[in-house]
Amino acid sequence: MLQNPQSLKLRKRSPASGRTVTKLQRLKACLPATALLFLPLFANAEADHRQEFDKTLKLDGITFHVTCPNNSSLNKLTITPKGLKKDNSIIAEEVDGTVYEAEVADLNRDNSPEIYVFAASVGSGSYGSLIAYNANHGKSLSEIYLPPLEDDKVNARGYMGHDKFFISGNHLVRSFPVYKDGDSNAGPSGGTRRLEYKLVPGETGWQLKLVKSSSR
């Protein structure tokens, strides 16, 4: 049963009290002095992991309230639409990782918006994922399909995560570092690959179609 949207509204968490022992503090106690040089990396990862995501976006009279607790390796994403003509049902689904950004756009220029939510898995790979919905001429939401990158043998070559999604003009862009044989996770040497997608109607709904691939 769907909950009242007000009950799903998330608030910023207050900082932990001084009495709380964090994972980072426990790590400091166990590490030798030389290893403390690398603690800023762990500190940033811990901060990002517990940062709740809460953003409201609006386009063409339709509002999307996007929230995600970002407090685990698997999280519940909630998208609350407002202003749709037929169905303003709340979208709630599990995401692998944490949400780091959301954007609203009209990639197919039909005067009806889409909502794009970008997530990254927790861990050294930080594999990106997309959750997206089309407002269907302002009436109701339907899912937008992005073909799995692993199905594209050419553009998936050298992919080991660390990808980012963003909107540029009329395209959804996915960029990621390219790894060569022997590269460490922290040291990709193959440059950056940029994939650009346009929104098109598919057989059963909307999908993102690759229109350009470039490397630098």
- How many other CB atoms are found less than 10 A from the CB of residue 100? 18
Q: What is the per-residue pLDDT for 50?
A: 58
**Where does a domain end: 12, 34, 49?**
49
Share of the chain above pLDDT 90, in %: 72
DSSP annotation of 154: T
For residue 154, pLDDT beyond 50: yes
Q: Is residue 2 part of a domain?
A: no
CA atoms within 13 A on the CB side of 111: 0
Q: Is residue 201 part of a domain?
A: yes
Helices and strands, counts by H and E, the chain: 3, 12
Q: Is residue 3 part of a domain?
A: no
pLDDT category of residue 112 using cuts at 50, 70 and 90: very high
Sheet containing 206-215: give its strands across: 98-105, 114-120, 128-134, 142-145, 206-215, 192-201, 171-177, 164-168
Q: How high does pLDDT run on average in the chain?
A: 84
* 92/181 same-domain check: yes
Q: What is the per-residue pLDDT for 109?
A: 95
pLDDT category of residue 67 using cuts at 50, 70 and 90: very high
* 30/67 same-domain check: no
Q: What is the per-residue pLDDT for 203?
A: 82
* 195/143 same-domain check: yes
- Residue with token string 């039909």: 110
* 45/93 same-domain check: no
Q: Is residue 14 part of a domain?
A: no
For residue 87, pLDDT beyond 70: yes
> Contact at 8 Å (CB) between 143 and 151?
no
| Ranges 19-28, 47-56, 110-119: which has the least confidence | 19-28
* 134/69 same-domain check: yes
Q: Is residue 133 part of a domain?
A: yes
* 60/129 same-domain check: yes
For residue 214, pLDDT beyond 50: yes
> For residue 166, what are the domain limits?
53-215
Share of the chain above pLDDT 70, in %: 77
Q: pTM for the complete prediction?
A: 0.77
Total domain count for the chain? Answer: 2
Instruction: Tell me the backbone φ, ψ of residue 26, rounded to 5 degrees.
Output: -65, -35
pLDDT category of residue 204 using cuts at 50, 70 and 90: confident
> Taking phi first (over 0 means left), then psi (-120 to 50 degrees means alpha), and beta for anything else, what does residue 212 get?
beta
Q: Which residues pair with 102 in a beta bridge?
A: 117
pLDDT category of residue 153 using cuts at 50, 70 and 90: very high
* 111/45 same-domain check: no
Sign, CA dihedral 127-212-156-91, equals positive
Sign, CA dihedral 15-21-26-29, equals positive
Residue partners of 18: CB distance under 8 A and separation at least 6: none
Residue range 120-151, pLDDT digits in tens: 999 888 999 999 999 999 999 999 999 999 99
Alpha-carbon distance of 144 to 33, in angstroms, equals: 49
pLDDT category of residue 200 using cuts at 50, 70 and 90: very high
| Ranges 3-17, 67-81, 101-115, 145-159: which has the least confidence | 3-17
